[in-house]
A and B are shown apart, each in its own frame.
Chain A
Amino acid sequence: DTGVSQDPRHKITKRGQNVTFRCDPISEHNRLYWYRQTLGQGPEFLTYFQNEAQLEKSRLLSDRFSAERPKGSFSTLEIQRTEQGDSAMYLCASSPWDSYGYTFGSGTRLTVV
Chain B
Amino acid sequence: QKEVEQNSGPLSVPEGAIASLNCTYSDRGSQSFFWYRQYSGKSPELIMSIYSNGDKEDGRFTAQLNKASQYVSLLIRDSQPSDSATYLCAADSNYQLIWGAGTKLIIKP
Q: What 0/1 readout, one digit per residue, does chain A (21-40) give for beta carbons within 8 Å of chain B?
A: 00000000000010000001
> How large, as a class, is the contact surface on chain A?
20 to 34
A10 to B49, CA, bound (A): 30
| Most A C-beta atoms less than 10 A away, residue of B42, B92, B97 | B97
- When distances are taken between beta carbons in the complex, the residues of chain B under 8 Å from A106 are 42-43
- When distances are taken between beta carbons in the complex, the residues of chain B under 8 Å from A102 are 44, 46, 97
- When distances are taken between beta carbons in the complex, the residues of chain A under 8 Å from B98 are 45
Q: How many A-B contacts are there with CB distance less than 8 Å?
A: 53
Is A42 touching B49 in the complex (CB atoms < 8 A)? no
Closest to A33 in B: B96
Chain B interface residue count, CB cutoff 8 Å, equals 22
From residue B42, how far is it (CB to closest CB) to chain A in Å?
7
Is A100 touching B97 in the complex (CB atoms < 8 A)? yes
Is B43 touching A101 in the complex (CB atoms < 8 A)? no
B contact face: mostly helix, strand, loop, or mixed: strand
| Most B C-beta atoms less than 10 A away, residue of A33, A40, A48, A102 | A102
Is B99 touching A48 in the complex (CB atoms < 8 A)? no
Is B32 touching A100 in the complex (CB atoms < 8 A)? yes
**A2 within 8 Å of B (CB atoms):** no
Partner of B100, one of A42, A101, A105, A107: A42
- When distances are taken between beta carbons in the complex, the residues of chain A under 8 Å from B90 are 42, 100
Is B46 touching A40 in the complex (CB atoms < 8 A)? no
- When distances are taken between beta carbons in the complex, the residues of chain A under 8 Å from B49 are 99, 101
Q: What 0/1 readout, one digit per residue, does chain A (75-98) give for beta carbons within 8 Å of chain B?
A: 000000000000001010000000
**B94 within 8 Å of A (CB atoms):** yes
Closest to A45 in B: B96
Is A101 touching B94 in the complex (CB atoms < 8 A)? no
Partner of B44, one of A48, A56, A100, A104: A104
- When distances are taken between beta carbons in the complex, the residues of chain A under 8 Å from B8 are 40
List chain B positions with a Cβ less than 8 A from chain A. Answer: 4, 8, 32, 34, 42-46, 49, 88, 90, 92, 94-102
Ordered by A's residue number, 8 sampled pairs between the chains whose C-beta atoms are within 8 Å are A40-B8, A40-B101, A41-B102, A43-B97, A100-B32, A100-B90, A104-B43, A107-B42
